[in-house]
Amino acid sequence: MILNKFGSLKKSELFKNISVLLSGTILAQILGVVLTPILTRLYSPADFGIYQMFLTTTSVVAALFALRYEVAIVLPNENSEFGQLLGLITKVFSINAIVLLIVLYFFPYILSSSGFSKLVEFRPIVYITVLLLSLQLILSQIFTRKKMFLFAAQSKILFIIVRFIISLIFFVVLKNVWGLLIGFATGHLIVNTFNVYRLFKNDAINIDFNNSFFVLKKYSDFPLNNSLATILNIIIVQIPVIFLAKYFSEELLGQFSLAFRMMMLPVSMINASVSNVFLKKITELKNSGCDVFKFLMKSMVFLSCGLPMFLFVFFKGNWLFGVIFGQNWSMAGRISSILTPYLYLSFITSPLSVVFIIFKRNRVFSMINIFFLVSLIILFKFYNIEDFWVLMKFYSVLNVLYYLVVLFSIFIIARKSNEKN
């Protein structure tokens, strides 16, 4: 009976869609890891530090560029309303494109005051990349609406390949950080061009500019609440980058960014793989009155299988990064060793955090995140730590405490659920 259910699940459209997206994401991430050691042997840690400033700035601005209205693209039942929403998004996009251009060229001190003064000379490509990233977010939601999941998966892989090739070519030509920036921007330009072509080739899209007020009011929750949640998450992730860029060298920032990106890879892969499974299973257990707490304990034991990998990095990080990425990156290995305890807890906790959604405890999770954000601001802004390694240890300890609190809260919620049943 179980095998029959599994067989029917494998044949379901949902399973196929998730499999396509997941396989594309994982393949793109693996491809990125395989190709990165080539780039780290060409570009210096300082180049990657400037590259990280560029990524942080463009991704943060792009995430809010359409005021999160793009997230609502999948919701309208009628194509007419979908067209109205696209009309509103186009208007918001155009207005913000003008605003960003004015800010970048008439108020460059904003970049300087944030610690990203190095980006002032790269303003043209920063501007273009923000537009491309924002367009990519919109196209991604349209793909989801039209169930074009294969194209979405292919886009991730195509971007990694194009970015690598262009970065390689422009290193030979320019031999400076411009190669990384142009590679990233060109990758998105080519992917977006192909995606627009695919969309209009497969289906005509009608954009309605005349009835924007209706969808503006109907989906007003997205810029008001969704944007605030997005800003909170962005600040939590980007605080170390902003602080390191402002008070430390580009080289240290580059070392930190590589360590963090490589160590987050298993966390993001396992989260993408099992979060939806846990969401469905825990929901079923809750609705049937079964023991959620026991399932969470078993799940935590299952997720603990990643411990040997994290222990290896903890003890051999210096050697591992030096061998894979080149001797210039052994410092990134030392950083990864320091970050390993909290990233291991993140590896365990992130998939289980769906409990907050299932039991409608989002406010609890938000309060924990706000408290954590305040703690990070105190650590980075007000607690004057000039020693980089001491700062990294404090940062890791603070994250360990955060994930322990999250994990403890998850089990408390599950325990109380069992008591009610």
* Burial status of residue 53 (CB atoms within 10 A of its CB: 0-12, 13-18, 19 or more): buried
pLDDT above 80: residue 417: no
Q: What is the pLDDT of residue 2?
A: 41
Residue 133's pLDDT is what?
A: 94
Residue 303 lies in a domain: yes
pLDDT for the residue 277: 64
pLDDT at 21: 63
**Is the residue at 294 inside a domain?**
yes
Domain with 252, as residue range(s), is 248-420
Contact 404, 345 (CB under 8 A): yes
Please tell me which residue, 75 or 226, carries the higher pLDDT value. Answer: 75
Q: What is the 3-state secondary structure (H, E, C) of the chain?
A: CHHHHHHHHHHCHHHHHHHHHHHHHHHHHHHHHHHHHHHHCCCCHHHHHHHHHHHHHHHHHHHHHCCCHHHHHHCCCCHHHHHHHHHHHHHHHHHHHHHHHHHHHHCCHHHHHCCCHHHHHHHHHHHHHHHHHHHHHHHHHHHHHCCCHHHHHHHHHHHHHHHHHHHHHHHHHHCCCHHHHHHHHHHHHHHHHHHHHHHHHHCCCCCCCCCHHHHHHHCCHHHHHHHHHHHHHHHHHHHHHHHHHHHCCHHHHHHHHHHHHHHHHHHHHHHHHHHHHHHHHHHHHHHHCCCHHHHHHHHHHHHHHHHHHHHHHHHHHHHHHHHHHCHHHHHHHHHHHHHHHHHHHHHHHHHHCHHHHHCCCHHHHHHHHHHHHHHHHHHHHHCCCCCHHHHHHHHHHHHHHHHHHHHHHHHHHHHHHHHHC
Q: Residue 9: pLDDT above 60?
A: no
Q: Which pLDDT belongs to residue 414? A: 83
* Averaged pLDDT for residues 391-395: 92
pTM of the model: 0.83
Residues 188 and 302 in one domain: no
Q: Tell me, yes or no, whether 165 and 273 share the same domain.
A: no
Q: What is the pLDDT of residues 42-65, one digit of tens each?
A: 999 999 999 999 999 999 899 889
Same domain, 161 and 281: no
Pair 289, 191 in one domain: no
Is 1 among the domain residues? no
pLDDT in the model for residue 358: 75
**Boundary (domain end) residue, out of 196, 218, 240:** 218
Do residues 289 and 404 share a domain?
yes
pLDDT 10s digits, 146-200: 777 777 778 888 999 999 999 999 999 988 999 999 999 999 999 999 988 888 7
What is the number of domains present in the chain?
2
Residue with tokens 């998004």: 89
pLDDT at 199: 82
Same domain, 282 and 404: yes
Last residue of a domain, one of 174, 203, 218: 218
Lowest mean pLDDT among 135-149, 262-276, 289-303, 374-388: 262-276
Give 1's pLDDT tier (boundaries 50, 70, 90).
very low
Q: In this structure, are 266 and 214 located in the same domain?
A: no
Residue 184 contacts by C-beta under 8 Å, 6 or more apart in sequence? 51, 54, 55, 129, 163, 167
pLDDT of residue 247: 85
Asked whether residue 212 falls in the same domain as residue 306, the answer is: no
Q: Do residues 340 and 383 share a domain?
A: yes
The last residue of a domain, from among 218, 237, 257: 218
Residue 236 lies in a domain: no
Mean pLDDT for the stretch of residues 98-125: 87
Note whether 198 and 331 are same-domain residues: no
Asked if residue 258 is part of any domain, the answer here is yes
216 pLDDT higher than 90: no
Residues 211 and 273 in one domain: no
Q: Residues 209, 161: one domain? A: yes
pLDDT at 383 over 80: no
Pair 142, 199: CB distance under 8 Å: yes
Tell me, yes or no, whether 195 lies in a domain: yes
Assess whether pLDDT exceeds 90 at residue 201: no
Residue of 307 and 202 predicted with greater confidence: 307
Share of the chain above pLDDT 70, in %: 89
